């Protein structure tokens, strides 16, 4: 297997770089790559991180998957790319310096409009995508969410009508479900299909690999941004190793990795999906009334908005049963969402692309 400068032989761990564009100051923008190949044949699992430059726990978790060399008993190949947005990481910012917008919305899609030609970030994403789908049997893309967020794994909606029929989509959704549950992180479904498309999530790393290439792909959210959270990092590494065990790449998860995982469980027993809200009508400071990872019932008060003097001007209620994933900015303007929630999901995981 060859990825960029990395030529990896059986039984070895090799490091190198994948060049994705050239720089006007000379040299190249390049992504660090770590590849480990087992002695036996098996699947190829890609693990990516750092597409958002301030999500450092994801970066650290990807780095640590292969830090001790080739895992004992490995069958197949593990490819780790811990820094998919070096430009953002240099600035510790979510965006890249190329366009200052979300670099995780430019991966290939059948319905992507191209009226003015592809910009640099889209070309970078496309080159990374081509490397991934050339060899991957599964992908785990590691992120972080809001400050104070609990770790969770996102399962995308599977679309049909362009690349696959409904039967093939349901088969793909079944394989995706098995991989997601194997991580043992709290499972949260993506937004409903229309919102999923509106947010351009089918052009995220996992969304494109899943819905364009038909390869099972998941997004792991590992705590909050701007810092490396040790518990969430350990949970992410353990989740990756459990995925490898599920894919029959490893006979078991090493005790040193499983034992370091603090363990995170969903506080509810029903299926949930992502929801951003509730939204404040008032301007002020958001004061959460429920801790992250805590369950609530529909119409239960979850936060207050207070005036500059500290007086409550609005109480925000939950739209449905669920639990708090994380809190957003405490400074609240009109119609700002104050939190990210996991709310009861009654929708289909397989949906027409239209």
Shared-domain flag, residues 230 and 296: no
Residue 99 has pLDDT above 90, yes or no: no
Given this model, what pLDDT does residue 287 score? 97
Given this model, what pLDDT does residue 353 score? 85
Look up the CATH number of the domain holding residue 300: 2.40.50.100
Shared-domain flag, residues 105 and 238: yes
Alpha carbon separation from 139 to 45, 48, 210, 326, 338 (Å, rounded): 6, 8, 9, 25, 31
Looking at residues 237-244, what average pLDDT do you find?
98
Given this model, what pLDDT does residue 46 score? 98
Q: How far apart are CA 326 and CA 352, in angstroms?
A: 30
Shared-domain flag, residues 340 and 234: no
- In tens, the pLDDT along 308-328 reads 999 999 999 999 999 999 999
Exposure string over 233-254, b if 16+ CB within 10 A, otherwise e: bbbbbbbbbbbbebbebbeebe
Look up the CATH number of the domain holding residue 28: 3.40.630.10
When pLDDT is cut at 50, 70 and 90, the band that residue 38 belongs to is very high
185 within domain boundaries: yes
Q: Are 36 and 131 in contact (CB under 8 A)?
A: no
39 within domain boundaries: yes
Shared-domain flag, residues 295 and 211: no
Shared-domain flag, residues 193 and 245: yes
When pLDDT is cut at 50, 70 and 90, the band that residue 122 belongs to is very high
- In tens, the pLDDT along 152-171 reads 999 999 999 989 999 999 99
Q: Is 198 exposed, middle or buried (0-12, 13-18, 19+ CB in 10 A)?
A: exposed
**Domain end residue (candidates: 258, 292, 313):** 258
Residue carrying structure tokens 């490397």 = 131
When pLDDT is cut at 50, 70 and 90, the band that residue 114 belongs to is low
Shared-domain flag, residues 283 and 143: no
25 within domain boundaries: yes
Given this model, what pLDDT does residue 56 score? 97
353 within domain boundaries: no
Shared-domain flag, residues 302 and 233: no
Q: For residue 330, give its domain range.
A: 272-346
Based on the structure, what is the number of domains in the chain? Answer: 2
116 within domain boundaries: yes
């Amino acid at each position: 297997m060859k990825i960029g400068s990395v030529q990896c032989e059986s039984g070895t761990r090799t490091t190198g770089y994948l060049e994705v564009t050239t720089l006007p100051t000379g040299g190249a923008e390049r992504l660090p790559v770590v590849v480990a190949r087992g002695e036996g044949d098996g699947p190829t699992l890609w693990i990516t991180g750092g597409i958002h430059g301030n999500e450092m726990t994801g970066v650290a978790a990807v780095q640590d998957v292969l830090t001790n060399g080739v895992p004992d008993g490995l069958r197949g190949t593990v490819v780790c790319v811990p820094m998919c947005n070096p430009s953002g990481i240099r600035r510790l910012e979510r965006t890249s310096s190329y366009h200052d917008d979300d670099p995780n919305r430019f991966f290939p899609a059948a319905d992507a409009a191209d009226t003015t030609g592809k910009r640099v970030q889209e070309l970078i994403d496309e080159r990374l995508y081509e490397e991934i789908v050339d060899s991957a049997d599964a992908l785990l893309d590691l992120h972080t969410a809001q400050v104070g967020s609990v770790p969770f794994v996102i399962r995308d909606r599977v679309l049909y009508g362009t690349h696959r029929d409904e039967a093939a989509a349901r088969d793909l959704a079944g394989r995706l479900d098995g991989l997601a549950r194997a991580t043992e992180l709290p499972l949260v479904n993506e937004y409903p299909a229309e919102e999923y498309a509106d947010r351009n999530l089918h052009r995220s790393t996992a969304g494109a690999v899943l819905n364009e290439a038909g390869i099972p792909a998941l997004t792991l959210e590992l705590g909050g941004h701007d810092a490396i959270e040790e518990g969430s990092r350990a949970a992410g590494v353990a989740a990756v190793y459990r995925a490898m065990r599920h894919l029959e790449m490893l006979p078991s998860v090493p005790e040193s990795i499983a034992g370091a995982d603090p363990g995170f469980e969903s506080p509810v027993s029903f299926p949930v999906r992502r929801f951003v809200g509730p939204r404040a009508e008032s301007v002020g400071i958001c004061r959460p009334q429920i801790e992250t990872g805590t369950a609530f019932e529909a119409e239960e008060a979850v936060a207050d908005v207070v005036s500059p003097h500290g007086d409550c001007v609005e109480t925000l209620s939950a739209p449905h049963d669920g639990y708090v994933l994380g809190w957003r900015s405490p400074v609240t303007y009109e119609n700002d969402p104050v939190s990210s929630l996991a709310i009861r999901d009654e929708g289909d995981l397989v949906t027409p692309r239209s």
